[in-house]
């Protein structure tokens, strides 16, 4: 088999893996041969159509982190980017066990609470600056956040 045919075969194999991932609503698939180990991870915070492919090499985590950082940087330029106004802990619901303020796909109104950032024992409500649709939530409940960190995007 020539390297061109091997490359074509690898692409078909990778496409099949991605299809299996999507069709079965999986978050991650690991494919391994004697020569290569490939991890395919669905990036749910960027919707299920975006797939991240990482080779299992010593630098794999760095590559994945660079990809994630580049996506976040691109989203931070979005007109509807909501960034943290302070350092603190982010909460997605008004109290533990309660329904989240928002989910991806929700329509929000100006002034509506999106999340809470606790700083120095003070609960600070982060509210929508405009009406729109939530397209990405980039933080998890009880996650520490930094000043200026991208939290979510409203379109």
Query: Same domain, yes or no, for 89 and 72?
Result: no
Query: Same domain, yes or no, for 85 and 72?
Result: no
Q: Which among 51, 76, 101 is the end of a domain?
A: 76
**Domain extent for 43:** 3-76
Number of domains in the chain: 2
pLDDT at 14: 74
Q: Which among 17, 52, 76 is the end of a domain?
A: 76
- pLDDT band at 73; cut points 50, 70, 90: low
Output 75 or 85, whichever has higher pLDDT.
85
Query: Same domain, yes or no, for 54 and 90?
Result: no
Q: How far apart are CA 5 and CA 7, in angstroms?
A: 5
Which strands, in side-by-side order, build the sheet including 132-137?
Answer: 81-83, 150-154, 132-137, 107-108
H or E stretch including 88? strand 88-91
pLDDT at 5: 65
The rounded radius of gyration (Å) of the Cα atoms in the chain is 19
- pLDDT band at 34; cut points 50, 70, 90: confident
Q: Which among 55, 76, 97 is the end of a domain?
A: 76
Query: Same domain, yes or no, for 63 and 86?
Result: no
Query: Same domain, yes or no, for 123 and 69?
Result: no
Sign of the CA dihedral running 137, 109, 116, 78: positive
Query: Same domain, yes or no, for 106 and 126?
Result: yes
- pLDDT band at 18; cut points 50, 70, 90: confident
Residue 148 has pLDDT above 60, yes or no: yes
Give the residue-averaged pLDDT of 77-92. 91
pLDDT at 19: 77
pTM for the predicted model, two decimal places: 0.53
Query: Same domain, yes or no, for 88 and 60?
Result: no
């Amino acid at each position: 088999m020539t390297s061109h045919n091997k490359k074509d075969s690898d692409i078909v194999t990778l496409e099949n893996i991605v299809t299996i991932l999507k069709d079965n609503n999986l978050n991650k698939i690991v494919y391994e041969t004697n020569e290569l180990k490939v991890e395919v991870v669905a990036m749910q915070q960027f919707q299920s159509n975006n797939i991240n492919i990482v080779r299992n090499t010593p630098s794999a985590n760095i590559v994945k982190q660079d990809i994630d950082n580049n996506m976040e940087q691109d989203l931070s330029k979005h007109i509807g980017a909501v960034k943290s106004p302070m350092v603190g802990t982010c909460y997605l619901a008004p109290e533990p066990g309660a329904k989240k303020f928002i989910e991806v796909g929700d329509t929000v109104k100006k002034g509506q609470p999106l999340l809470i950032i606790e700083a120095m024992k003070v609960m600070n409500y982060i509210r929508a600056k405009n009406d729109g649709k939530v397209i990405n939530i980039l933080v998890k409940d009880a996650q520490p956040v930094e000043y200026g960190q991208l939290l979510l995007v409203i379109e």
